[in-house]
Amino acid sequence: MKSAEIETDALPRRPGKKERTRQEIYRTAMRLFGEHGYDGVTIEDICAGAGIAKATFFLHFAGKATLIHAFNDEITAAFSEKLATHDGTAEEQLYFLAAAFEEQWQGNAPVMRKMLSEFMDQPAAHLVTSQLNESVIDLVAAILRRGQARGEFRPSFTPEIGAAAIVATWSALTAWWSAHPEADTSAFNREFLDIALNGFKAKAPART
């Protein structure tokens, strides 16, 4: 089987100075969160660690909680590159992506639960949810589009709409996970993708 081809617009591009600064802020913050906990790190601490002025931080992020944007962008860029050479069907790629995101979230669980909770407590959090997931939606849409081109998925739906539906449900599951640390998210992801790809209807018995 040939390697999967993901559209080039889903692949990570070479970052410019602004993007490099954003990445440095994010990586410094995640390092400090890992060392001191989310609540133990201030924006001033992040700025000092990244060697930037506080005003520069606010050019990129509205606060600590909005670093979750960069978290999604970072792992999406990393997995876009992996998916470009991932052998398998589009369905297998979706399961691979779900498992990869779960691994990253679980690996940073204490910080991500705090960050997500604070993010969702913002008065206008619902207004930026689509922006938060924009890079993820683009990647999932590319996978769905590829599945359509290869005849794995029916051609009568818009990949972007399908991707938005999948990512919105993933987001809801993630928010639920943040309040239920005992939950087996891998089982939820598998079950959700099975529903998303195969629907709720029972298959009609084969005619003899």
pLDDT > 70 fraction of the chain, expressed in percent and rounded:
82
Instruction: Give burial (CB, 10 Å; 0-12/13-18/19+) of 128.
Output: middle
CB 54 within 8 A of CB 105: no
Q: What is the CATH number of domain 8-198?
A: 1.10.357.10
| Residue pair 175/120 in contact by the 8 Å Cβ criterion | yes
Q: Is the pLDDT of residue 12 over 60?
A: no
Three-state DSSP at 134 gives helix
In 3D, which of 161, 163, 170 has the Cα closest to residue 137? Answer: 163
pLDDT at residue 22 greater than cutoff 80: yes
Rg of the chain over CA atoms, in angstroms?
19
CA atoms within 13 A on the CB side of 44: 1
Residue 201 in tokens: 């209807």
pTM for the full model? 0.72
Least confident of 21-30, 32-41, 65-74, 199-208: 199-208
Residue 95 φ/ψ, nearest 5 degrees = -65, -40
> In the predicted model, what is the mean pLDDT of the chain?
81
- What count of other Cβ atoms lies within 10 Å of the Cβ of residue 175? 13
Instruction: Tokens for 50, please give them.
Output: 């990244």
Mean pLDDT along residues 74-100: 84
Give the three-class secondary structure for 166: helix
Domain ranges of the chain: 8-198
Residue 87, beta-bridge partner list: 3
Q: Which residues pair with 3 in a beta bridge?
A: 87
